[in-house]
Chain A
Amino acid sequence: MIDVLYFAWVRERIGLPKERLDTGAATVADLVSELRAREERYEAAFADLSALRVAVDQQLTTFDAPLAGAREVAFFPPMTGG
């Protein structure tokens, strides 16, 4: 089981901030493919990966990152702090 978190407009498009998924995805990209196949709202949120960032266990990483042993994956737009 893995916790998947969504922030900002990704959260709005998918319609929830967090869900727990049972997935066999080996990488972040595999997880994204699984999600996109689920429902239109996921397809809408993940349509353009260049507009998204991903963190695995609260560390920024890339879409080819492995998910083995990961507890938490988060998807969000480029950050706008400061």
Chain B
Amino acid sequence: MAVRVEAAAFDPGAELSAFARGRTDIGAIVTFTGIVRDDGGLRRLEIEHYPGMTERAIAAIEAEAVARWNLHDSLVIHRFGALAPGAPIMMVATAAPHRGDAFAAAEFLMDYLKSRAPFWKREVTGSGAAWVAAKEADEDALGRWQD
């Protein structure tokens, strides 16, 4: 289980290779990579976070995933600072003996990272800057994981 919150760019392919290297105990790896999307006129995406709480919150979400599924490893990378359109923002990888657990745990991690890890996005365009509002759909997505 690893959590990295960092400003530096990362290479999703290299991260996947390193995550998988030398493992013989797993049959499935699922990865998700979030990319800075430009819906028109985006100059950069700025991400603010809460140092300390961010790492704790992600570690708690990972621990919950481990408790629910048969996971042998997981990786969460999330960047902060100024990001250019097209740049990777974040990545989740899950490793499990079977794909069902790897897929479900990756979706769970993504759903919780969206609305329970303390990050805030701000879009800077040619005409100004605006904080991205949380979507109700993201909050609703958590409902499906509640027993």
Question: Which residues of A pack against B, CB within 8 Å?
Answer: 5, 7-9, 55, 58-60, 74, 76-82
B131 close to A79 (CB less than 8 A):
no
User: Which residue of chain A has its CB nearest to the CB of B139?
Assistant: A78
Instruction: Compute how far the CA of A78 lies from the CA of B114 in the bound complex, rounded to whole angstroms.
Output: 10
Jot down 20 A-B pairs with beta carbons below 8 A, ordered by A: A7-B48, A7-B50, A7-B120, A8-B48, A55-B53, A55-B118, A58-B57, A59-B56, A74-B53, A78-B134, A78-B139, A79-B120, A79-B134, A80-B114, A80-B132, A80-B133, A82-B89, A82-B90, A82-B117, A82-B119
Give the chain B neighbours of A74 by CB distance below 8 A: 50, 53, 118
- Work out how many contacts link A and B, with CB atoms closer than 8 A: 71
Give the chain A neighbours of B57 by CB distance below 8 A: 58, 60
User: Which residue of chain A has its CB nearest to the CB of B55?
Assistant: A58
Known: A8-B48, A55-B50, A58-B56. A78 touches B115 (CB 8 A): yes
Known: A8-B131, A9-B131, A58-B56. A81 touches B119 (CB 8 A): yes
Instruction: Compute how far the CA of A60 lies from the CA of B110 in the bound complex, rounded to whole angstroms.
Output: 18
How many residues of B sit at the interface, in one of the four size bands? 20 to 34
Q: Is B122's beta carbon under 8 Å from chain A?
A: yes
User: Which residue of chain A has its CB nearest to the CB of B90?
Assistant: A82
B130: min CB distance to chain A, Å:
9
Query: Which residues of B, 74-127, contact A by the 8 Å Cβ criterion?
Result: 78, 89-90, 110, 113-122
Interface of B is mostly: mixed
Instruction: Compute how far the CA of A82 lies from the CA of B35 in the bound complex, rounded to whole angstroms.
Output: 9
Give the chain A neighbours of B56 by CB distance below 8 A: 58-59
B34 close to A77 (CB less than 8 A):
no
Q: Is B22's beta carbon under 8 Å from chain A?
A: no
